[in-house]
Structure 1
Amino acid sequence: MSDELLPNERLVDGPLPDPAVQTCGAEEVAPDLLVIPNRRVPLVPNIGIIGGRDAVLVVETGMGTANAEQVLSLAAEVAGGRRLYLTTTHFHPEHAFGAQVFDGAATYLVNRAQATDLSTKGPGYLEMFRSFGGAVATRLDDVRVPRPDEVYDGVRELDLGDRTVLLRPTGRGHTLGDQVVEVPDAGVLFTGDLAETGQFAIFPWFPPHDTDVSGLGWADVMDRLAAAGPRIVVPGHGDVGGPQVLADVAAYLRELREETWRRRDSAMGEAEIAAEVKALLIERHPEWTGREWIAPGVACLCAEHA
């Protein structure tokens, strides 16, 4: 599988910047709840450190051991002797492929679908990301595919002491194993790559080897998340915001679907559909980055039916 994923490196246009996590920029968005912002650096996620009376939960590791070591160091400092947990929102390398650094220092928990993604797709994605070369490959030099300590079904209620965090699998959307992290007492929601700000939605549509992303399922997930009414939304990439972040992503996914299906139903070819839809959406959202993800989104939705 890993070799078969390599042709999709065409999505990378030129050398990528070093995906370095900068923990010095951590911001407290609620009491005892820090976000290490991604500063809009490609392949750097927003990372969370959520504290309770007895324990601290880290959300995401950053890509590679050097990034994860910085995250662990800050988390240990924040914890001050409290127990450490780690979770990741999905299996992609910039979110999870530093988890080995937490071995022995924290308990790594993921939902069952994400654990399956890690074991079945993780090696292929690791090799694909290494093929990008440069700083990305260097960050992954000594990385192995993560192995969780605990795998759970359904919603995992994690008691940190006077604060319960919900690790909630969402069903098929950006990946099969997506989960969000809810902090109900603070009204904070970590979405992983189900939501981004300032960029087009990331569609990992790599047929025939990875076709689990669902534009239809993803839009439904966003509606459910929005209905829960979080106060603060921490997207996978981009700026922390309010509930409008979720509504904006849902609106874009439906816009992409409608423009794609209207052309598909008129018997246009997929390449022509992708070209027209990409031009239209860039015109509508000229300030957004990630334009390379429009065409995979079109291909995904061309294959889906209501």
Structure 2
Amino acid sequence: MTKKFASHADVEIKKVSFDKLAEGVYAYTAEGDPNTGIIIGDDSVMVIDTQATPAMAEDVINRIREVTDKPIKHIVLSHYHAVRVLGASAYGAENIIASQNTYDLIVERGQQDYESEVGRFPRLFAGVETVPGLTWPTVVFDKKMTLYMGKRKVEIMHLGAGHTKGDTVVWLPEEKILFAGDLVEYGATPYSGDAYHKEWPNTLDKLLALEPQQLVPGRGEALTTPRLCQDAIEGTRAFVSTMFESVKAGKEAGKSLADCYRDTYQILAPKYAEWVIFEHCLPFDITRCYDEAGDYENPRIWTAERDTEMWHSLQDAL
């Protein structure tokens, strides 16, 4: 049991891009690392996903300060994963907004997720010592809330489960710009260790129905044409559906998790192996698919110990 997580070999610092999508709307991306969205209203700023640590959030803040001196009043959490939320304290925001399901997941498994994610992917938690603890939402909604930032209308929506039970998207209806969180990836492998694979495609159909003109995925570059938005949503759906159907068929045939992992890896690799974090995600993804195809409707909690046990149990499967 000596083989490290695939992500431990990912030590290269990524190039950050800060792209203007419309007046007062920006995407902070970094070659497949977790993205952050920025919306500037008449009197304040909203940040969508905060980076993993306060130390890492400082670079986002510096970029914001290059374009506005308005206070950062609002943070939206697209979901509960530590890599998305633990930088929140750096912004000094008045409101930390999340879906009710996301709040419930933080209560149930936030600490375990924090500990397991730091162990899996240390590069994404630079300055982890600056994290003061879990990030707790201060504003919680069920299905939808609307926030007016002066004249700018911002819709914050939970359209269904997918990447997690509580996924939240931010939609600018006038500009038709969508911040999709990890419901949608582009050129990056969806992590689905806490996913609802049966429901995810239906949730993606709801995103397609919005007909976004621009889209910021959870990972990957900002997408600036309707065609690219559609490609990203449909590409994510194809990956998730193909993977789950393969594992489900194997499970129903009485195959072991290791056999399902090997078979499904071989199906996915020819098309998706070049996507960012493919080798890292697949063991977690396929393990969750195997659970969901069996007796676990809801994802089991990942702990640092469970991460290690699962990872090493599958290393000889290929």
Whether TM exceeds 0.5 here: the answer is yes
Aligned residue pairs: how many?
Answer: 286
Given the alignment of the two structures, is residue 232 of structure 1 paired with residue 214 of structure 2, yes or no? yes
Aligned residues of 2:7 and 2:120 also touching (Cα < 8 A): no
Residue aligning to 1:80: 69
Report matched runs for 1:32-51 at 5 Å: 32-40=24-32, 44-51=33-40
Residue aligning to 1:208: none
Residue aligning to 1:210: none
Report matched runs for 1:263-278 at 5 Å: 263-278=250-265
Given the alignment of the two structures, is residue 195 of structure 1 paired with residue 184 of structure 2, yes or no? yes
Residue aligning to 1:17: 11
Residue aligning to 2:310: none
Structure 1 residue 91 displacement after superposition: 1.3
Percent of pairs identical after alignment? Answer: 22
Q: Residues 214, 34 of structure 1: CA spacing in aligned structure 2 closer, same or farther, 3 A cutoff?
A: same
Structure 1 residue 80 displacement after superposition: 2.8
Aligned partner of 1:14: which letter? H
Deviation by residue 1:182-211 (Cα, 9 ceiling, x = unmatched)? 111111111111111113221125xxxxxx
Structure 1 residue 257 displacement after superposition: 2.3
For the residues of structure 1 that align with 2:105 and 2:15, how far apart are their CA atoms?
A: 24
Residue aligning to 1:64: 53
For the residues of structure 2 that align with 1:46 and 1:151, how far apart are their CA atoms?
A: 22
Q: Residues 78, 255 of structure 1: CA spacing in aligned structure 2 closer, same or farther, 3 A cutoff?
A: same
Aligned residues of 1:119 and 1:145 also touching (Cα < 8 A): no
Q: Which moved more, 1:130-139 or 1:292-301?
A: 130-139
Aligned residues of 2:185 and 2:236 also touching (Cα < 8 A): yes
Structure 1 residue 82 displacement after superposition: 5.3
RMSD between superposed Cα atoms in Å: 2.6
Question: Unaligned stretches of 5+ in structure 2?
Answer: 224-228, 298-318
Aligned residues of 1:193 and 1:236 also touching (Cα < 8 A): yes
Aligned residues of 2:47 and 2:72 also touching (Cα < 8 A): no
For the residues of structure 2 that align with 1:13 and 1:73, how far apart are their CA atoms?
A: 27
Residue aligning to 2:307: none
Report matched runs for 1:34-183 at 5 Å: 34-40=26-32, 44-81=33-70, 84-103=73-92, 105-132=93-120, 135-136=123-124, 138-143=126-131, 144-183=133-172
What is the TM-score of this pair, normalised by structure 2? 0.81
Aligned partner of 1:269: which letter? S
Deviation by residue 1:160-195 (Cα, 9 ceiling, x = unmatched)? 122111111133211122101111111111111111
Q: Which moved more, 1:94-103 or 1:78-87?
A: 78-87
For the residues of structure 2 that align with 1:201 and 1:81, how far apart are their CA atoms?
A: 34
For the residues of structure 2 that align with 1:201 and 1:133, how far apart are their CA atoms?
A: 15
| Aligned pair partner of 2:21 in 29, 38, 42 | 29
Residue aligning to 2:279: 291
